[in-house]
Amino acid sequence: MSDLLAGAYLAKGTIGNVGMSGAPVATFSLVVVPSQNSVSGTVVITQAISGPDSYIVVPVTGKIYATGLGNVTKVVSLQGQYVHSVPPPAIGSFLANFDAHLAIDNAWNGKGGFTYYQHQVENVPVAAINSLVESN
């Protein structure tokens, strides 16, 4: 079993216009297993507006493939579902879909987009978050 996870690594980053007021941003934390072309983890969508879509946590799975196309060395697809609650005066909740697509370099920087309940964000930056903590 451990051979199947050989070469696995953690990828963290954002999809979206970070710093743009009101823009939805998806922050991802993914375990990547290149030998299996698989990714899995969590995406957190935040938006600086009030309402049911201002903070969403989505468990995701997906695929990663090498491209061999210049600066775009990898393409990644993510899918997941989350519970969407209907705001008052309506009552109820349902499972809503989340999808994302990334065209990135080896450092996990590039372009991408994502969709979630009645929202579509396209052609936005994908930026890696350096998860290494250096101590002095």
- How many domains does one find in the chain? 1
- With respect to residue 136, please indicate whether it lies within any of the assigned structural domains: no
**pLDDT score, position 130:** 74
Q: Which domain holds residue 33?
A: 2-128
Full-model pTM: 0.88
89 preceded by a cis bond (ω within 30 of 0): yes
Is residue 38 in some structural domain?
Answer: yes
Residue 133 covered by a domain: no
Bridge partner residues of 107 (DSSP): none
pLDDT score at 133: 38
Tens digits of pLDDT across the chain (136 residues): 456 666 899 999 999 999 888 899 999 999 999 999 999 999 999 987 776 678 999 999 999 999 988 899 999 999 999 999 887 788 899 999 999 999 999 999 999 999 999 899 999 999 999 754 333 3
Cβ–Cβ < 8 Å for 23, 123: no
- Identify whether 134 is part of a domain: no
Asked if residue 59 is part of any domain, the answer here is yes
pLDDT at 52 (0 to 100):
66
Could you tell me which of 58, 59, 76, 56 has the C-alpha nearest to residue 67? 76
**Is residue 41 in a domain?**
yes
d(CA 84, CA 102): 24
Q: How far apart are CA 71 and CA 116, in angstroms?
A: 28
For residue 63, being part of any structural domain is answered with yes
Phi then psi for residue 24, to 5 deg, are: -70, 140
Res 69: pLDDT: 85
CA distance 6 to 64: 16
